[in-house]
Amino acid sequence: MNLKRLLPGSRALRVAPALVLVAVLAACSGTSKPKPAELPPNPSLFGVRQAWSVRIPAVNFPLAVDVSGDTVTVAGGDKGTVVVIDARAGRETWRADAGAPLAAGVGSDGSLTAVVTSNNELVALEGGKVLWKQRLTAQAFTAPLVAGRRVFVQTADRSISAWDGQSGRRLWQQQRTAENLVLRKSGVLIAVGDTLVSGIGGRLVGLNPGNGVSRWEAPIAAPRGTNDVERLVDLTGSVSRVGDTVCARAYYANVGCVDTLRGQLLWSKPAVGAEGVSGDEGFVYGTEADGSVTAWRRADGERAWQSTRFKNRVLTGPLAVGRSLVIGESTGTLHFVSREDGSLLNRVTPDGSAIAVTPVLAGNTVVVVTANGGVFGYRPE
């Protein structure tokens, strides 16, 4: 099981609380680690061609990859290396560094790019050069959102702020009451129409991007349990958006969908996992903590199918593309499975190191980033 470090307030909780988390989960799953399911022979039911590869420094932080059209922006962990890649040709557009190791992934609109360093600095880059830097109130593990020439940031103390993309001037900041623990893992911060949508605890919250005032709140999961670890239900990872409907995962609690136009929860179902979800008009897809792959009906949240062929394997979230789901594994394997029933279609191994983040789609290219800093573009045939 892939355990994540936690953050109390605005300081890193490194050793003792991590042991508490291990103890809690070990009590549920037993003391010995279950043996991963054996993989069947690769059926190679359709072709998967590696189109290109790019190298970046090793990835050792909660990475999120940003896509804008055919442009994909990635980051490595050494001095905050940021690389913008044209996914059509696999060619670097520019490469720069933020001047310090990163604590969160990248946000970009294809022109302006923003990252957050481990020194709590928000750094904006454009054309391969640092445009400005600003100090944040606390550490951030969720990638900034760049939209409308503004940069939006959510920090671990539950504050959300907006910054002018060109000057770096802070436009507004809204503070929420912070829980004792938050995940050291990328959360939810996206734009839906004229609403800034953020994950705060187990709730999806819609904000006015002009001033940060809350428009609505929809609870996907409520805290439960008797201690801070058990009550941790932050929304985490990628979301599935179709029109005004956004579906998201609450950490080891639920998967649910929200109508962001009305701010109304459509459904929420129990789900035990830590990675984000993907989806299409008919289904929402996710990987669970035990390695199972699940499809829920988008209309009502009822389970459509579940595959256990990756039982006890550590998986990324899925990417729905074409007729397949693309799923990375900690062993370095990239699996292509059927969206209809989870059956294996093909698999490849980029460079042998763990797949560091849920794969993304840029144009017609599936982009994969490994822990060793390999960035690979694949095109299913």
Q: Nearest-5° angle of CA 31, CA 179, CA 270? A: 55
Confidence class of residue 231 from pLDDT cuts 50, 70 and 90?
confident
Q: Is residue 349's pLDDT more than 90?
A: yes
- Report the pLDDT value the prediction gives residue 142, as an integer from 0 to 100: 94
Instruction: Examine residue 113 and state whether it is found in any structural domain, yes or no.
Output: yes
Residue 212 domain boundaries: 6-42+63-316
Q: Are 105 and 63 in contact (CB under 8 A)?
A: yes
Question: What is the three-class DSSP state of 4?
Answer: coil
Instruction: Examine residue 324 and state whether it is found in any structural domain, yes or no.
Output: no
Write out pLDDT tens, residues 2-59: 333 344 433 333 322 332 333 233 334 445 778 999 999 999 999 999 999 999 999 8
Helix (H) or strand (E) holding 204: strand 203-207
Query: Average pLDDT in the 182-195 region?
Result: 92
**Cα dist. 303→159, 229, 379 in Å?**
35, 28, 30
For residues 225 and 367, which has the higher predicted lDDT (pLDDT)? Answer: 367
Q: Nearest-5° angle of CA 157, CA 204, CA 60? A: 55
Instruction: Examine residue 140 and state whether it is found in any structural domain, yes or no.
Output: yes
Q: Which two tokens stand for residue 110?
A: 């294809």
Instruction: Examine residue 174 and state whether it is found in any structural domain, yes or no.
Output: yes
Residue 300, classified by CB atoms within 10 Å of its CB into exposed (0-12), middle (13-18) or buried (19+), is exposed
Q: Are 366 and 380 in contact (CB under 8 A)?
A: yes
Alpha-carbon gap, residue 89 to 97, rounded angstroms: 23
Give the type of residue at 179.
E
Q: Are 186 and 155 in contact (CB under 8 A)?
A: no
- Report the pLDDT value the prediction gives residue 31, as an integer from 0 to 100: 52
Instruction: Examine residue 351 and state whether it is found in any structural domain, yes or no.
Output: no
Write out pLDDT tens, residues 244-273: 999 999 999 999 999 999 999 999 999 999
Instruction: Examine residue 220 and state whether it is found in any structural domain, yes or no.
Output: yes
Write out pLDDT tens, residues 310-327: 999 999 999 999 999 999
Rg (alpha carbons) of the chain, rounded to whole number: 19
Q: Are 183 and 201 in contact (CB under 8 A)?
A: no
- Report the pLDDT value the prediction gives residue 151, as an integer from 0 to 100: 98
Q: Are 333 and 340 in contact (CB under 8 A)?
A: no
Q: Is 212 left (phi over 0), alpha (psi -120 to 50) or beta?
A: left
Residue 362, classified by CB atoms within 10 Å of its CB into exposed (0-12), middle (13-18) or buried (19+), is buried
* Residue 307 CB neighbours (<10 A): 19
Query: Average pLDDT in the 287-307 region?
Result: 98
Q: What is the DSSP string of 291-335?
A: S-EEEEETTT--EEEEE-TTTT--EEEEEEETTEEEEEETTS-EE
Question: What is the three-class DSSP state of 101?
Answer: coil
Q: Are 253 and 236 in contact (CB under 8 A)?
A: no
The total domain count for the chain is 1
Element counts in the chain: helices (H) and strands (E): 1, 34
For residues 242 and 61, which has the higher predicted lDDT (pLDDT)? Answer: 242
Instruction: Examine residue 245 and state whether it is found in any structural domain, yes or no.
Output: yes
**For the domain that residue 136 is a member of, what is the CATH number?**
2.130.10.10
Instruction: Examine residue 47 and state whether it is found in any structural domain, yes or no.
Output: no
